[in-house]
Amino acid sequence: MRYFLILTALFLTIASFSPVFADGGGEEADMDAVLLTKQAIAFLLSEQYSETDRAMYAMEKVKDALEDDEQEGVNLDALKKALTLLQEENNEEAKKILYEALINPSDRNSFVEPVEKKFKGTSQEYSFLAAAGISILLGGFILRRKNE
């Protein structure tokens, strides 16, 4: 029974890390310029990061979009202008230009306003909560085993 509990605890610990690998391990080979531009806009809409971080993350996506082989569906001049605005940390104006960079109107309408999270915890806090939950479950199993 002890080995079962240890294996269960190990499995639950490893399973809690699965969101880290949800993006495929950082593979961006199949992303086109439209998707990268949408991601840049999503970073600018996010309230999870500071203004500087939003600009930095969005800038990385815009640079990737400019270097991408599949640039159909985006206006390259608008992307270059948005990149300049992001370097100046003018996020609001850059966001407007990025919307305009999307040629297809249906691409522009695919964004919704972000929903505010009820718990604004960091990944460390979430990990701590997961570990606490696992500890409670394992404690219950151990107590149950002792009472038998």
Query: What are the extents of the domains in the chain?
Result: 30-105
Q: Which residue has the higher pLDDT, 46 or 83?
A: 83
Q: What is the pLDDT of residues 28-63, one digit of tens each?
A: 456 788 889 888 988 888 888 888 888 899 999 999
For residues 26 and 23, what is the distance between their CA atoms, to the nearest angstrom? 6
CB under 8 Å, gap of 24 or more: what pairs does 123-127 form?
127/16
Give residue-wise pLDDT tens across range 3-17.
777 777 767 777 666
Query: For the whole model, what pTM was predicted?
Result: 0.56
Q: Does pLDDT of 69 surpass 60?
A: yes
Residue 41 CA: distances (Å) to CA of 51, 92, 123: 13, 10, 23
Model pLDDT, residue 91: 87
